[in-house]
Amino acid sequence: MLTLRAPAKINLSLRVLRRREDGFHDIESLMCPLELADEIDLDCAGPAAGGATDTPGVEFSCDDASLPSDGSNLAVRATVLFLRRAGLEGKHGVRVALRKRVPHGAGLGGGSSDAASVLLGLNALFSTNLKLDALTALAAELGSDVPLFLHRSAAICRGRGERVEPLKFPARLPLLLLKPAFGVPTPWAYGRWRHAREIPGVSYAPQPFGWGELVNDLERPVFEKYLLLAAMKEWLLEQKETVAGALLSGSGATVLAVLRDGASASTAEELARRAQTHFGTDFWSCHTHTVAPS
C-alpha cells in the first residue's frame, strides 16, 4: 500500500489573457503548493473490484460524505484512466481511500491534486515507469490544473493551465486561508470575466512583493456576484499589522492573506477569530505555508 500527500495550491497571480475558440481561456498564473494537503491510500485489489463508485476495478472511500464517490470523482477518474492507458484494465483493481483536508469549491485545487497524486502513485504501485510527458498527457485530459501537481513545486502555468514551467519559489510564505460555506463554479467565473466590472472601493491593483505580485483577474467577475468575498479581502487588507497582502485564490471561494514575516500560528488564529467576529462563524479557516523551496 502507498500513502500519498496531495497538496493544495494557491494562485499568487492569475492573469486571464483571452478566450479561446475551444471555450477555454489562456492564462498566465504563478501557482504554489501548500503544506495543507489531502492524504490518499492506494492499494491493489482484484480486477472485479468496485463498490460505492459503481466503477469496475475501483474501490473508493472518503471521509467527506459530501464528495461524490462515483465515476465523476477526479480521483476515481484518474484511476480508471490510468488503468486503461497502462493496459491494466480488467487485469488489476485499485482501492483508493481519500482523507479530505482541502475543501472543495475553494479554488485550492484539491480535486486536481488528488487526481495527480493518484497518477503518480499508480505509476509507482504498478512499476509502469511512465515518463512525465505521458503522465502530463493523462493529467491534461482530467483537468487544466492537474498537470501542475505532477511537479510538486511552484510553477508558472500557461495555456489553459496545462503548460507548466516549474520554478524554485524563493520564499516560505505564512498564510491564512478563509473560505465561506459556499463555493464558486470555475466555468461561471471565467464565463463572466470579459464583461465584469470593478466595484468602487474595492482594491484590484497588483500588490508588489520581492518575489512578484499578488493579482487576480477573476476577482472582477467573482466579486460582482459574491460581495462577501470582496468584503473579506478588503477587511484583511485593513489588518496591516498582521497582513502583508490579500487576494482571491483562483476562482474562489477562498480568500488568502499573506501574513507578515514572523507571524506565528497564534497570530493567525487570532486573526481568524477576529474575522469570525466580523463576518460570522460559518466559514473554514486554515493557517498554512507555501511549500519551502528545496
Dihedral angle sign, alpha carbons of residues 185, 190, 192, 193: positive
Task: Note if 168 is an active site residue.
Answer: no
Q: Yes or no: say if 98 and 135 are a contact pair by the CB < 8 Å rule.
A: no
Distance CA 28, CA 164 (A): 10
- Residue 158 C-alpha cell reads as 500557461
What backbone phi and psi angles, to 5 degrees, belong to 128? -85, -20
Q: Which residues contact 223 (CB under 8 A, 6 or more apart)?
A: 199, 202, 229, 230, 233, 248
How far apart are alpha carbons 146 and 136 in whole angstroms? 8
Contact 45, 94 (CB under 8 A): yes
Among 38, 100, 114, 145, the active-site one is 145
Strands 155-159 and 174-180: unpaired
User: 206, 223, 224: which is closest to 215 by C-alpha?
Assistant: 206
Q: Tell me which DSSP letter residue 199 carries.
A: P
Residue 145: active-site member: yes
* Positions marked catalytic: 9, 145
